[in-house]
Amino acid sequence: MYYLGVDVGSVSTNLVLLDGHMKVVEKIYIRTKGSPIKAVQEGFKILKDKYNNVKISGVGATGSGRHIAATLIGADAVKNEITSHAVAALEIDRDVKTIIEIGGQDSKIIIIRNGVVSDFAMNTVCAAGTGSFLDRQAERLDIPIEEFGDYALNSNIGVRIAGRCAVFAESDMIHKQQLGYNKADIIRGLCDALVRNYLNNVGKGKEILPKVFFQGGVAANKGIKAAFERALGFEIIVPKDYNVMGAIGAAILGKEMAEKERKTNFKGFNLADSKFESNSFECSGCSNRCEVVKLIENNQEIGCFGDRCGKWSNRVKSILIK
């Protein structure tokens, strides 16, 4: 018995396969590159080759692209990232009290007390200090993102970088670089700035108690982890599957839902070979002029998204917000 979790995020699409004991047997990390459908298909191609004859007993979808993914794969549970991340962390360790999650476009803090989420916060409209910003800076400095953290660890003293806004941070970094500071010190300064920004904004007013789990793609960055530890004064834990925790949570929630319903909606791995098309158009039904996306699988409409009134999204019975 296997359970599948899919997390379609802004930067990466992650798939995990759990066995009956909620152990990860496969994890796949794919760059979304702006096409969530293609990314899910790509993941399914890999899974199909290896697991075509195993029985999938429950499926969950999460991430900002969860609705489109759920329609695509036939998910049993469609859950937001906060709940998914919390569920996954609690599965690993019941004593987790705080989760720091930094992904491609979002950063979150989740406070857990007595095994339930008691508070959370997310970044506001600004995505400063998230993975996509780090990606961009790594690219600009011509450093592979995988080595970004090591550079920070090689520095003994960080250069002060303005962290409030990504655009300000970037100009500040450029100024410092033109003054001749070395890359390592600038990168360590950037890590400190991002952590400072996170703690002052997302984490503002929250009681950050250990154990702290650090999850999401940015947790791979040793420089950020070290900066958090410097700022908080205690160790933070990066779980083994830090970059797919959302997908793990989704798989667990998919299992719960499938058990409750005594069936799964999973459509099978064949979708890897299907031809998907998405068309967007402006609905002229009323003055809202919603931008509607229509999802078509092998010439058949399987779902619509983006309308406010439900005229399109209710047309095909899909399992939106449940």
Q: Which residues bind other proteins (CB under 8 A)?
A: 64-65, 79-83, 106, 116-120, 122, 124-125, 205, 286-291, 308, 321
Decide: 71 and 295 in contact? Cβ < 8 Å. yes
Angle between helices 183-200 and 166-178 (to 10 degrees): 160
Task: Please give the Cα distance from 27 to 47 (Å, whole number).
Answer: 10
Smallest distance, other proteins to C-beta of residue 56, A: 24
Task: Please give the Cα distance from 110 to 101 (Å, whole number).
Answer: 8
CB nearer to other proteins: give 41 or 123: 123
CB nearer to other proteins: give 32 or 57: 32
Helix (H) or strand (E) holding 291: strand 291-297
Smallest distance, other proteins to C-beta of residue 125, A: 5
Please report the beta strands in 66-208, taking only residues with DSSP state E, as ranges in sequence order: 77-78, 98-102, 107-113, 116-122
Smallest distance, other proteins to C-beta of residue 15, A: 20
Strand partners, 280: 293
Smallest distance, other proteins to C-beta of residue 30, A: 19
CB nearer to other proteins: give 80 or 177: 80
Single-letter amino acid, residue 44: F
CB nearer to other proteins: give 82 or 247: 82
Q: Which residue, among 100, 137, 31, 139, has the nearest Cα to 239 in the 3D structure?
A: 100
Pairing mode of beta strands 12-18, 2-8: antiparallel
Helix (H) or strand (E) holding 51: helix 36-51
CB nearer to other proteins: give 100 or 161: 100
Strand partners, 27: 16
Decide: 220 and 146 in contact? Cβ < 8 Å. yes
Q: What angle do CA 67, 73, 76 make, to 5 degrees?
A: 75
Smallest distance, other proteins to C-beta of residue 121, A: 8
CB nearer to other proteins: give 143 or 320: 320
Smallest distance, other proteins to C-beta of residue 209, A: 13
CB nearer to other proteins: give 140 or 315: 315
CB nearer to other proteins: give 57 or 83: 83
Q: Would you state the torsion angle of the CA atoms of residues 29, 256, 219, 143, taken in this order, to the nearest 10 degrees?
A: 10
Task: Please give the Cα distance from 293 to 283 (Å, whole number).
Answer: 10
Smallest distance, other proteins to C-beta of residue 122, A: 6
Single-letter amino acid, residue 78: V
Smallest distance, other proteins to C-beta of residue 67, A: 8
